[in-house]
Each structure stands twice: as structure tokens, then as C-alpha cells.
A and B are shown apart, each in its own frame.
Chain A
């Protein structure tokens, strides 16, 4: 049984004239090592196969809906938004989330700044909130290019920003995990929480795109 859950939800992103570098598959040695260690742990009674299956199921069940709920709560409740930005770990505890030993860092998109998250070292991602990262987030081309040429990467995701707006890239390389708080679209002042949640996408909380436009979503 393979534990490599590579859910590739998005289309292949290409840029005219530039080849996409395919990442190497996990090495055979790494796969054998993983299988051996897992089987030994089960054989020695440290964990059971059922423990592992349940952990995978829990990870797989998390998607972006929890993140969307947090974002919408921040949009609708200024006091919560302040706590989310300044005491992030305490704020998300209200949603039953504990990131420990990591800490959450929430970065807010404004009229002046667009935030984008990457982990150049590996694939650090706020898994307790957003679940498993998309395959493109883990690939070398994203990890290398997001810090080096973020605007070109954003363009490939269909996100064009004016020159006047600052692009701020966050390299999630140590003990923090990042969530982008997108800007609430104009014209949604009297929308319900459910309607607003439908606008918030996983990619907007990573920072490669903005939320859905109100006119695109079914009201």
C-alpha cells in the first residue's frame, strides 16, 4: 500500500517557450525504506495498520472548507480578524485546530500588498487547516520560481497584478505555517456566510490567485 497521496487537482501550468521540469519520483530506496519502517513499526506493535489508515483518512478528509470558514469569519467579524492576525494560534483554536508544535502566521492581502506562500525546502503547508497540498505546490519548479519570479508564476495561474501592488512572497522554511487572508470582494456587504465561503478557494489561501469574483459564483 502506498502512502504517497499526490492529489493533482489542477491543470498543468505552462508558459510559452519554457519547458516544465518534471520532478523526480521518490527514489526506490526511499520507497523501500518507508515500507520497511512502516511494516516494522506495525510488527513491533508501536502502531497498528488501523492507526495508520485512520491518520490517512483524517488527512484526506480535510479540504479547503475549514480555511474558507476561517477567512469568512474574519471578513464578517473585525474582532476575530484582529485576533486571527495577531494571535493566530488562539484564534483557530475556536475551530478546533491545534497546529502545535508549529505556529500559524496569517498574512493579509490589502490594496497595497498581495501575499504568496511557498516552501522552498520541501512542502510545508498548513495541513491542519487546508489538508494536503496540491501536487504543483510540492514541485521544484514552483518552489524555485515562486521566490525568484513570483509575478511570472502568478501570471501562469491567471493572476495579473498591477505594478503598483507589492508582491510579498513568504518562504515557509521553519516553524511557521502560512495562511493568506484574501481581500473581501466589493459588493458582498450583505452576503451570508455560506455565500461568502463559496468564493474562497484553496489557491486564494495559498496566494497564487485571488478569491472568485462575486459575479462568477452562483448567488
Chain B
């Protein structure tokens, strides 16, 4: 399975209005970060949660964000970051 993004790519997390089980927390939606690594492909948890085999597999990445990007009133230094796992279908190139 080919990964669409590579480490160093800038990505924006989509604002999907998707009910049910999702693993993309609201606090990163609409935010721009950088791909830290390609983790690999995994069964889709959005389907696994309902007893479905979770096919087709989805590509998973670790994305790095500046905390000041995530929280408008972040109290710490601008160099503080957060890294989180995001599936490919939740991203677009930034």
C-alpha cells in the first residue's frame, strides 16, 4: 500500500462531520502540522468499532503540531509541540 504523504510534508487535518467512532480528536481538526513519520497501514478503526473487519486498510501517520497552532492561548513557549497519530483520509496537503 502506497503512502500519499512523506515525513516533512505539511498537512491540514480535515473538518469531517463524521458520526460514530473516529480517532481524530476535535482539537486537531482544521489545524496544520508536519508529517513526522509514516507508521504503516492498519485496519480502519472506524469500522472495527462496529464489529466490521475494517477493510480496506488505512495508512497511518504521526503528525507534529506546534502547540501555539492548536491552542490560541497556549501558555508555554512557541517551541512546544504535540505529536499524534492521524489516518490518511483525515488529511489534505497544506
Contacts and interface: CB of A to CB of B under 8 A. Distances in A.
Given A103-B39, A151-B75, A151-B76, A170 B25 contact: no
Main secondary structure of the interface of A (DSSP, over half): mixed
A109 interface: no
B27 to A, nearest CB: 7
B71 A174 contact: no
Contacts of B81: 166-169
B5 interface: no
18 contacts: A101-B42, A103-B40, A120-B25, A148-B71, A149-B75, A150-B67, A166-B77, A166-B81, A167-B81, A168-B82, A169-B83, A170-B83, A174-B23, A174-B85, A174-B87, A175-B39, A175-B42, A176-B39
Contacts of B27: 120, 147-148
Contacts of B23: 121, 173-174
Interface of B: 23, 25, 27, 39-40, 42, 45, 60, 62, 67, 70-71, 75-77, 79-87
A140 to B, nearest CB: 13
Given A121-B23, A148-B71, A167 B84 contact: no
A175 B60 contact: yes
Nearest to A114: B80
B18 to A, nearest CB: 15
Contacts of A175: 39, 42, 60, 85
Contacts of A105: 62
A215 interface: no
Contacts of A103: 39-40
